Amino acid sequence: MRLLLVEDNVELSEWLGAILQKEGFALDCVHDAEAANVLLGSGGYDVVLLDLKLPHASGQSVLRRLRRRLDQTPVMVTTASDSLDMKVECLNAGADDYMVKPFEIRELAARIKALIRRRSGSATSILSCADLSYDTNTRLFSLAGQALALPQREHRLLEALLMNQGHTLSKASLMQSVFGLDAEAGEDALELYVHRLRHKLEASQAAIVTLRGLGYLLTRREQP
């Protein structure tokens, strides 16, 4: 699960980022609206945590720009303001949730997972594709009822595909999910992890399909 944290308080962002990573989230962090707009333009995030008070431009401007592009990435506003008018303004502008600082990390993590489930169309913590399932609370995969343990990068890849099942994900988007912003990796590395996952899913009813020029898709395997 890949998050973008937009927070101008560097000390707070480092503390919050470290805790969220311990909770199992992959996280990128920026401190101003311009940097947020650049990263959001490339897509690939499951949730955006957006502070309203940013240098040079407001968090509301980032939110409005995102929604003008018809980008439906869930956005949780995090702010020190508990103004009802501000909450209403943000929700009307397209925010999906709103938390007032200071907040409890456990509640924040639970709300993030709820937003991800809602985006994936699941009312529970379990996401499924054929006999492949994933618990967003425990972050564990199972295949035909048996635990499926994966190395970190294969886990991130399959997680991204499953949470977006039925939708084609570009190589660029998947590379960000798997490697993040800082790692130097090419498409060959991504294809290697796809190959490894396909091998592990050979007996599964779920399959990773390549759509040339577009990317990859997780879907139910076609029966011969």
Q: Distance between CA 171 and CA 131 in Å, rounded? A: 25
Cα–Cα distance list, 167 to 177, 199, 214, 218, 219 (Å): 15, 21, 11, 8, 9
pLDDT higher than threshold 90 for residue 119: no
Query: Which of 42, 33, 30, 41 shows the shortest CA–CA distance to 4?
Result: 30
Q: Distance between CA 60 and CA 94 in Å, rounded? A: 10
Summarised one tens digit per residue, pLDDT across range 87-109 is: 898 999 999 999 998 888 888 88
Q: pLDDT tier at 223 (50, 70, 90 boundaries)? A: low
Cα–Cα distance list, 38 to 32, 34, 62, 135, 177 (Å): 10, 6, 10, 31, 16
Summarised one tens digit per residue, pLDDT across range 146-156 is: 999 999 889 98
* For helices 10-22 and 105-120, angle between their N-to-C axes, nearest 10 degrees: 70
Q: Distance between CA 28 and CA 180 in Å, rounded? A: 8
In this prediction, residue 120 carries a pLDDT of 67
β-bridge mates for residue 100, sequence order: 79
Summarised one tens digit per residue, pLDDT across range 190-201 is: 899 999 999 999
Q: pLDDT tier at 181 (50, 70, 90 boundaries)? A: low
Summarised one tens digit per residue, pLDDT across range 45-73 is: 889 999 998 988 889 999 999 999 888 88
Lowest mean pLDDT among 39-43, 52-56, 109-113: 39-43
